[in-house]
Amino acid sequence: MTARTAAQASTSPPTVREGAGYRGRVRDADVSRHAAGRLGPGQRVAALRRLREQRFDVLVIGGGVTGAGAALDAASRGLSVALVEARDLAAGTSSRSSKLIHGGLRYLEQAELGLVHEALTERNLLARRLAPHLVRPVPILVPLPAGPLPVRAARRAYYGAGVALYDAFAGLTGGARGMPAHRHLSRAAARRMFPSLRSDALAGAIRYFDGQVDDARLVVTLARTAASLGAAVVPSARVVGFLRRSRQVTGAVVRDLESGVEIEVAARTVIGATGVWSDDLTAMLRSAPGGTAGPVPRSGGPAAPAVRSGAAAGLVVRSGLRVRASKGVHLVVPRAAITGEAGLILRTATSVLFVLPWGGHWIIGTTDTDWSLDRAHPAASAHDIGYLLAEVNQVLDRRLTTADIEGVYAGLRPLLAGEDDATSALSREHAVVEPMLGLFLVAGGKLTTYRVMAADVVDRAVRRLDQGLDPGPSRAAGRSTPRRSVTSQLPLLGADGYGAMWRDRAGLARRYGVAVGVAEHLLERYGTLAAEVLRLAASAPEYAGPVTGAPEYLAAEIAYAARAEGALHLDDVLARRTRISIETPHRGEDSVRHAAALMAAELGWSPATVEREVAHYLARVAAERESQRMPDDRTADAARLGAPDVRGRATPARPA
């Protein structure tokens, strides 16, 4: 069997029963949960067919952590669910965070005790039950500055009380805290743990623990888990308008960016989880209406006449949300540039700065500044980079320079706007609104509390479904929907059996003929699904070796991303399924040809498609490098826009 034939066989879509639900009812009983959760080419074809033919209980717009979490929450309640994402899963904010699952130590100073408690509860759930393969403890030092003895004592007492309260909150979240307790360190002990700290600026430190995660992998795992419960997950599918009946949203017009075909997707409720794009959805409701769409037959519900593209003339739509975008820039430097066994949290004039170990690298960030330019590709400027270097160099014994930087990434945090102009003072809490009957928008929040946000918005959707005249297929068949979210009890794909597989990692490595370090690397990225990657690596020599220019990753991981994780373009695998684009000084340029060959075998790319993908990726890297030499946001934004998005080049076709 050729690699291409094997890929086609492994990505054949599972049978999904209309209106089926949680605990095995969403999929064919003969299909395993792992198989049902594959997001390959065959699954995408089947999911697009479902978008055309089915009427869903819930349509989720946005494939970030909140959208993927909402799709999982709804599917686990037995609802029929579709998730569409305009670009790639986690293409926006959800792949560009500080990689922390944390309570927010600094929020204690802002007296946001409820937010801290909620976040610590979620941190412990993720680390112990939901995703122990993805979330792990990371030690972080709070350095205590040097000074006169009374000042040093006061600082240690102040910060010590804050960290002790943080740990106390973690202990109140139910069950074990999930992280080790904090510890006070003398100056000598702090220097032993972090030799790169300047001794003349240090009086000691306090060590505490938080959770660390590859944010993009968390999102992909959430989406795959939702698919395993029957959700139709479709990346590269942009919502371009809404379907409406009178004052109720009844679905959306979705454009498949790979083919240009537009599909009218019928849904009883629609959830918008688009972060900094939330206002765009409200704008669609205000837009002038298009032509009247005829009845579209849907399995699971009657035909429904709908008007495309939004509201009736003169209808006033207020979202009730004010979302502002805050740009956060991070630097990635090699592990050898800084000597330390823990991370750092540092105070700055306006916020905090993290220096975090990340495999063979360090992540340094973040900035916290207002951003009103291109939201799809926020750009880091030379000013941002200089600011981060200046801040971190205040505590390091060897100054970092731009020559040390391997990668740079910028993301936009969606903040609920307040009265303060400083984005660091805006709320990290979330809100759910219903600007038009049947359409729910959720925004704000943080990576750690995605599950709470998802449960809140799905609760609202379920209440609207309960009030509707059309009971939907699940209720018509006599099945009840759980009144409350069950995701706090639902391990993500790869979590079941992870502890046992980790303890037997040496045996796993022997069975597949790889080094123990390779088995550990895969287990920490895929959990028990690592066995699937190892089987792929063992199936053919071209999958067994490392990726050219990125020895930390196996070639099998690139192929697996296209075969099972919804990757459609080189950006997807080099920037999100792996982190080659930020973890190598060449930013993926040395790896792009090898990755393209592996993806071509899985996705059936022609030579012309391979060249187009490679050219786009190289142009993207060049544009990002150029933007990072620009002095300010506007010039950096203009430079980054020099590389167009690889998606959306197909000519729009008539609605299907």
Q: How confident is the model at residue 172 (pLDDT cuts 50, 70, 90)?
A: low
Identify whether 274 is preceded by a cis peptide bond (ω within 30 of 0).
Answer: no
Burial 454-486 (b: 16+ CB within 10 A, else e): bbbbbbbbbebbeebeeebbbbeeeeebeeebe
Q: How confident is the model at residue 565 (pLDDT cuts 50, 70, 90)?
A: very high
- The full 3-state SS of 592-646, as one line of letters, equals HHHHHHHHHHHHCCCHHHHHHHHHHHHHHHHHHHHHCCCCCHHHHHHHHCCCCCC
% of the chain surpassing 70 pLDDT: 84
Query: What pLDDT score does 424 carry?
Result: 44
Report the topology of domain 3-93+218-322+429-489.
FAD/NAD(P)-binding domain (3.50.50)
Which DSSP symbol is given to 489? G
Q: How confident is the model at residue 442 (pLDDT cuts 50, 70, 90)?
A: very high
Whose CA is closest to 134, among 601, 459, 525? 525
Q: Give the least confident one: 204-208, 275-279, 303-307, 612-616.
A: 303-307
Query: What pLDDT score does 29 carry?
Result: 65
pLDDT by residue (tens digit) across 324-345? 899 999 999 999 999 999 999 9
Query: What pLDDT score does 184 carry?
Result: 95
- Stretch 265-294: mean pLDDT: 79
* 61 touches 271 (CB < 8 A): yes
* Pairwise CA distance, residues 244 & 239, whole Å: 14
Pairing of strands 361-365, 55-61: unpaired
For the cut 90, the answer to whether the pLDDT of residue 158 exceeds it is no
Of the ranges 265-269, 469-473, 651-655, the best mean pLDDT one: 265-269
Q: How confident is the model at residue 168 (pLDDT cuts 50, 70, 90)?
A: confident
Q: Give the least confident one: 8-22, 215-229, 375-389.
A: 8-22
% of the chain surpassing 90 pLDDT: 70
For the cut 50, the answer to whether the pLDDT of residue 159 exceeds it is yes
For the cut 70, the answer to whether the pLDDT of residue 14 exceeds it is no
Q: How confident is the model at residue 288 (pLDDT cuts 50, 70, 90)?
A: very low
pLDDT by residue (tens digit) across 48-67? 999 999 999 999 999 999 99
pLDDT by residue (tens digit) across 105-138? 777 777 777 788 889 999 999 999 999 999 999 9
CA distances 216 to 342, 452, 521, 568, 603, Å, are 23, 19, 16, 15, 21
For the cut 90, the answer to whether the pLDDT of residue 521 exceeds it is yes
Q: How confident is the model at residue 572 (pLDDT cuts 50, 70, 90)?
A: very high
Whose CA is closest to 51, among 83, 28, 26? 83
Query: What mean pLDDT is reported for the chain?
Result: 87
Query: What pLDDT score does 619 carry?
Result: 97
Neighbours of 339 (CB within 10 A): 13
Q: How confident is the model at residue 142 (pLDDT cuts 50, 70, 90)?
A: very high
- Stretch 168-176: mean pLDDT: 63
For the cut 90, the answer to whether the pLDDT of residue 604 exceeds it is yes
* Pairwise CA distance, residues 71 & 234, whole Å: 12
Which DSSP symbol is given to 298? B
The residue type at 477: A
For the cut 50, the answer to whether the pLDDT of residue 355 exceeds it is yes
Query: What pLDDT score does 322 carry?
Result: 79
- Stretch 187-200: mean pLDDT: 95
For the cut 70, the answer to whether the pLDDT of residue 399 exceeds it is yes
pLDDT by residue (tens digit) across 244-262? 998 899 999 999 999 999 9
Please tell me which residue, 171 or 539, carries the higher pLDDT value. 539
For the cut 90, the answer to whether the pLDDT of residue 239 exceeds it is yes
Query: What pLDDT score does 220 carry?
Result: 98
pLDDT by residue (tens digit) across 531-549? 999 999 999 999 999 999 9
Please name the residues in contact with 574: beta carbons below 8 A apart, sequence gap of 6 or more: 580, 581, 588, 591, 592, 595, 617
CA distances 406 to 139, 608, 610, 625, Å, are 23, 31, 26, 11
pLDDT by residue (tens digit) across 456-473? 999 999 999 988 645 555
- Stretch 435-446: mean pLDDT: 92
- Stretch 381-406: mean pLDDT: 97
For the cut 70, the answer to whether the pLDDT of residue 453 exceeds it is yes
